[in-house]
Structure formats: C-alpha cells, structure tokens
Amino acid sequence: MDDYYTTDRKMSTMQDTKIAASGVQVYYADNHAIKDVNVDIGDKTVTAFIGPSGCGKSTFLRCLNRMNDTIDICRVEGDIKIDGEDIYDKKVDPVQLRAKVGMVFQKPNPFPKSIYDNVAYGPKIHGLASSKADLDNIVEKALRRGAIWDEVKDRLHAPGTGLSGGQQQRLCIARAVATEPEVLLMDEPCSALDPIATAQVEELIDELRQNYAVVIVTHSMQQAARVSQKTAFFHLGNLVEYDDTDTIFTNPKDPRTESYISGRIG
Amino acid sequence: MTDATVTPPMRAKGKSLMADDARTQKRNAAERRFKAYGIIAILVGLSFLVFLATSILRNGIPAFTQTVVQVEFTLTQEEFDAAEGTLLKTSAYTDVFVSKLTEQVSAQGLDVEVDGKAVERLLGKVGGDLREFYKENPDQIGQPAQFQLAAASRVERYLQGKLTRDMVVDGRFLEKTDLDIVDALVDAGIITSAFDWNFITGTDTGVDNPGGAGIGASVIGSFFMMLVVLFLSLPIGVAASIYLEEFAPKNRFTDLIEVNISNLAAVPSIVFGILGLAVFIQFAHLPQSAPLVGGLVLTLMTLPTIVISTRASLKAVPPSIRDAALGVGASKMQSVFHHVLPLAMPGILTGTIIGLAQALGETAPLLLIGMVGFVAREYPDGLASGLLDPNSAMPAQIYTWAARSDEAFFEKAWGGIIVLLLFLMTMNIIAIILRRRFERRW
C-alpha cells in the first residue's frame, strides 16, 4: 500500500499543471488578505490548503473560480491561469469559468428543490442534456460519483433539504460534478459533518482524483494527510510552504509549518 | 477521588428549593405584571375591534335592505291605449296605479284614502316607471305583473323609527295622513322589506334619491384602479428591488436611492394626489376622474411599500443559496430568478397585498383628481371605458355619501364600508392562497 501511494505521489508531481497562480494579491478594501502567493496545482491531484483560521486559504480558493467577484470590496491582483488561460482576463466570463471549476461549500447548501432537480439544474442551464433520458443518465452518473445514488435512487423527487447533513454534502458534490467540471474546489467540505460522513466524503474525494484536479481547504491536518498528495500551508496571508504532503508532515522546511503541524500555533 | 469530598462553595447555604427567595419572588412578580400588561393591551385592542365591527354592521346592514311596496295588477289593453291617448301620459299611469292600489287596499278591508299626490310622496314618480315598463314589454299588457316599487327614504326612516309623527311637518315631502296609509299598507303586507340588490349593483344617484343609490359602479371603478396598480407596481417594484438588492453596486448613489425610497413610503397620500393632478392630468392630459389616473397615482403611492418589502424578503434568502447557484455556473440572473425569487415570493406577495390594501382604501389623492362627487353614474362597457370614463372608487363614493345632507345617505356610507371590507377580505384571501402555493419548506 505504501509503495502504491509513493509512486502515486511521484506521478502526481509529474502531472501537468492545471492551475498556475503567480504573484496573487487579494485585498478586502484596505486589508491585504493574500500576499504574493505562487502555487502550481497539478491535474488529477488532491491539493490541500491548511492553516489557522483567517489565514486566507478560503479566500485564495475562492479566487480560483472567481467567487470573490460577488464581494464588492474584494480586489484580486496577479495571474491565475487554468490550462494556460488567464481567468482574470477581461474576455473571460466568470459564469463559464465556474462551469469548468466546480465548488463545494463548507455548509451543505442544496437548493430547496427535489434531489433530482438539485443535480439536474447545472446540466440544464449549460445545455448538457439533449433529452429527458439523457438528463436522467447524467443525474444518475453524478449521483453515483457522489457516492449517494444507492441511498436516494428510490426518492429522487423528495426534497434535497430533507437529507441528513452528510448526505446533503454528498448531494452537493454530485451537483458540482454533474456539470462535468475539470477542477473541483472544496471549502472545508467536512467541517459540518460527523466522523462517519467525513470518512465517506474523504473516500469520495480520493475517487474523484481519477478525473479532476481537487483543491480542498481543511482545518484538519489529519484530513489533509489522509486525502491529499500536495499540501500548501498558509499563514497570515502568506503561502509559507508548498510541497508533497509527505514532506510537509514529516520534514517541513519552514519553522512556522513545523509549529503549526505540531500544534504550537494555530 | 478525594476531590469529590471537597464541598463546592454554596450560595445561600441551607436554603430550601421549596420556598422562593425574595429575589426570585421579585422577578416572578415582574414577569406576571408584564404578562398582565400584554393581556390588557390585547383586550383593549380586541374591544376596539369589536366596537368597530358592531357599529359598522349595525349601521351598515340596513343599507342592504329596502322598503318596497309590492303591488300585483294587470293592465288591460284598453287602459294602456287610454293612458297613451292622454296628454299627461305619466300622470295617467299614476292614476291607473292609484286605482289598482285602492282596489287592493279595499279588498283587504282597510279604510284609507289613497290619492295620486300621496302615492307620489310615498313612492316617487310611479307613473313614469310603469309607462317605461309597458312600453318596453308590450307583451306584458293583459298579463298579471308583480311590481316592487322602492319607497321614499322618509317612509323607510319612519318604519325604522328614526322619523316620528311629531317630526312630520305637512308639506311637499310627507304629510301626517301619508303615515296612516303607510301603517295600513304595512298591516296589509303591501309594504315589506326586501334585499336591495340595487345597492350592490347600482350606480350613484342624485342627492334627492338616496334609496336608489348603489355602490356597484364604484366597485368597478376600484377594481379597474386595482388592476392598474397591480400591473404597474408589482413588476416595477419587484424589478427595482431585484436590481437594487442583487445587481446594483453599493455606493453613495444607491444609498441615496435607498433612503429616498424609505422616505417616499412616509409621504402623505394627498401629496401624491397633487403630483398626479399636475403630471397626469395637467401635463399628460389624461382624462379627469378616470380610474387610469387614479391607478397611476396609487401606483406611485404603493411602489415604496412593495420595494421595501421585496428588498427585505430578498435579503432574508440565505446567501448560501446564491453561492450554490453561482457555484454550478448559473449567471447572476439565473441565480436570482431560479432560486432567490421563488424563495422570496411569499414575502413579496405579503408586501404587495399590504400595498394594494392601502391603495384600495385611499381617498385623499382621489379628491384631487376628481374622483369624488357625483361621478359613479354609469357603468363602463369594456376595458377602455372602464379605465378612461369618469368613475369613482369605493372610498371616494363613501366619502361622497357621508358628505351629503340627507341622512339616508349615511346609511349608504356605512353599507359601502361593509362592501369595501368584503372586497378587501377577498383580496387578502386570494393573497393567502397564492402565498401558500409559493411557500417552500427547507
């Protein structure tokens, strides 16, 4: 098993770069929230962002699909390229970008609609389905990928808000993958879940790695160690260290990283 | 486990839980007092409501009934020809009516003298009505026909006990002998009380005929105004609030707009009336007294209410729903129309119905655009005429009646209030049904 993971990780470092961020600065009005962050995120890799609260990891994540655009006072500088294309270019429509870069939020937020409609909404607005049967297929595929199909297949038309917290979060993951994104951003997806639901979601993240570049923000270092191949440690808006997960947790170069991992700061 | 033996510091040591200490008693007393205030406030409110409802019903119900004289008789062809042959045709008909009435009265064994003048005082100009009826329905000649003729308002008031014999001064309107006739006819069952459909369906009448006045035409006027208000203020108000709440940048200019909208909601309605007069009638040359203009003025008045409540209900939709929609690649507009607006719908409907209810009961702006007075005389025939022909509205009609000198109109005013309230209740019920339909649980 160990060997498998090691080779896997080596492979992942050799993977193509999916997202390349260089010199990213984010300001909330006068507050300098992200300071000169450079990071290359590989395809078909799980990259974890760790760090104490308020260190800017969620803010940086939200830059990757331009969700920060919805905040008036937020200003982003620097270069973020996905597949070599600058996503902050004037010609880029954030709506199209978000179809390519899906997002799962901290709190499960299904639409107050049926389970089926929750998943079908994205494909519908992007015109991914040509017929009702086609849409049914997409929904089933997405729910299977979200590892929730078996639990909901008999009640697809029950409201999505009636599911348990863990089920809701997996439904949201299914909803995010239904639009066939290339990158999946997860903002603390397990913080509202119990340990069993967390384990299910983590397992799911590992499976999603086959098809997507996954970026996950987490407070739990154990979780980062369990699911990710690469880890980035943020502190006070700076990217302190970014390396293979193994290296970060066993042999961190920066003293701040070591203090955080051993629990002295954070 | 030695820690367990250490007694924790105890406040009020040795005090029983069974007795309240002074502090607890004080707090409980304060709570009881507060509850009592609440109950008193509710009782006061309820008693006002009951007082209002009973006085409206007591004063208004008589407006829905009418004192009628019921006469059944047959007009023969010869009588018809003879009456048509005379010079004063209507008075000839009156004579025929009097003779028939006398027949009926004496057939019942009553001893009263009925003459044409008395009939005119009691029933108004009967002859004209009769002639009209037979001219329009010539096939009814020779057939027995039932006539229900409205009695004069004085007769009604006499029967209600509001007019006594001592108050009658012989003259053009009523003589003491007429009251004998009335008493006799009541005994004979010829004068009875009937439900007055004319009050609900009819139009306004001149000051001399309170009995014939109806609120129907102004109900239709109000209806057309509400149509205008609904179809203008709902889309404009909702669109404005969606833009302000979801799309507009937050800067000084939008702050200014926000403050101004809140202020507009507090502007006295008569100001909107003056504005409507200046803009819609004097500048845009729209017709006076038209429900269209009334509707436009009330739209201006209703807009702030709708904007404020719509914005509040849009704000109440959790931002996570917007994030979710944007996260799957919905555009801003899609996220608003597919997800936010449906969730805000119950609140929007509540605001709209409050705005419409306010507009329905508004009189002051209508004063200035000429919808008060002797306006609701005719029925509109169709949409264009309903919007553009002079008409009144329910509250304006009630105001008009209440301002007239004949006391019989006061009763009509009270009755009009009942109709207005029924109209309002219908609107509220529709809104509640719609809201139920839109309501979603999460």
Q: What is the 3-state secondary structure (H, E, C) of A9-35?
A: HHHHHHCCEEEEEEEEEEEECCEEEEE
Cβ-based contacts of A178 with chain B (< 8 Å): 328
Nearest to B339 among A65, A111, A176 (CB): A111
Cβ-based contacts of B252 with chain A (< 8 Å): none
Cβ-based contacts of B327 with chain A (< 8 Å): 65, 67, 98, 102-105, 176
Which residue of chain B comes nearest to A120, CA vs CA? B328
Q: Does B252 touch chain A (CB under 8 A)?
A: no
Second CATH level (architecture) for the domain A16-87+95-261: 3-Layer(aba) Sandwich (3.40)
Res. A135: pLDDT tops 90:
yes
Predicted complex ipTM: 0.84
Cβ-based contacts of B341 with chain A (< 8 Å): none
Kind plus residue range of the DSSP H or E element containing A118: helix A115-126
Residue B67, helix vs strand vs coil: strand
Q: Among the residues of B216-268, which ranges form H helices? A: 216-242, 252-264
Distance CA A246, CA B228 (A): 70
Q: Are B329 and B271 in contact (CB under 8 A)?
A: no
The answer to whether the Cβ–Cβ distance between B324 and A98 falls below 8 Å is: no
Distance CA A157, CA A160 (A): 8
Distance CA B338, CA B325 (A): 9
- Residue B415 tokens read as 């009755």
Res. A221: pLDDT tops 90:
no
Q: How far is A42 from chain B (nearest CA, A)?
A: 21
- The pLDDT tens digits for A58-87 are 899 999 989 888 888 888 888 899 988 899
Q: Does B323 touch chain A (CB under 8 A)?
A: yes
- Residue A142 tokens read as 């997405």
Q: How many CA atoms lie within 13 A of A143 on its CB side?
A: 24
pTM for the structure as a whole: 0.79
Domain B216-438 CATH class label: mainly alpha
Nearest to A121 among B328, B331, B441 (CB): B328
Distance CA B423, CA B219 (A): 9
Which residues have C-beta within 8 Å of that of residue A242, sequence separation ≥ 6? A39, A230, A231, A232, A233
Residue A262, helix vs strand vs coil: coil
Nearest to A125 among B330, B343, B441 (CB): B330
In total, the C-beta contacts within 8 angstroms joining chain A to chain B are 69
Q: Are A111 and B318 in contact (CB under 8 A)?
A: no
Kind plus residue range of the DSSP H or E element containing B144: strand B144-150
| Sequence ranges of the domains in chain B | 65-195, 216-438
Q: Among the residues of B4-88, which ranges form H helices? A: 22-60, 77-85
Residue A5, helix vs strand vs coil: helix
Residue B341, helix vs strand vs coil: helix
Nearest to A67 among B326, B334, B442 (CB): B326
Per-residue pLDDT of chain B (442 residues; tens, 9 = 90+): 445 555 555 555 677 888 888 899 999 999 999 999 999 999 999 999 999 999 999 888 888 888 888 877 787 888 778 877 777 777 888 888 888 888 777 777 777 777 777 777 777 777 777 888 887 888 877 778 777 777 877 787 788 777 777 777 766 677 777 777 888 788 777 788 888 888 888 888 877 777 778 888 889 999 999 999 999 999 999 999 999 998 888 889 999 999 999 898 889 989 999 999 999 999 988 888 889 999 999 999 999 999 999 999 999 999 999 999 998 888 889 999 999 999 999 899 989 998 999 999 899 999 888 888 777 777 877 778 888 888 889 999 999 999 888 777 888 899 999 999 999 999 989 888 888 887 765 4
Distance CA B95, CA B87 (A): 13
A187 forms beta bridges with A217
Res. A14: pLDDT tops 70:
no
Q: Are B356 and B302 in contact (CB under 8 A)?
A: yes
Q: How far is B435 from chain A (nearest CA, A)?
A: 16
Q: How far is A263 from chain B (nearest CA, A)?
A: 31
Residue A104, helix vs strand vs coil: strand
pLDDT reported for residue B234: 93
Other Cβ atoms less than 10 A from the Cβ of B183: the count is 15
Nearest to B327 among A96, A105, A159 (CB): A105
pLDDT reported for residue B10: 55
Q: Are A159 and A113 in contact (CB under 8 A)?
A: yes
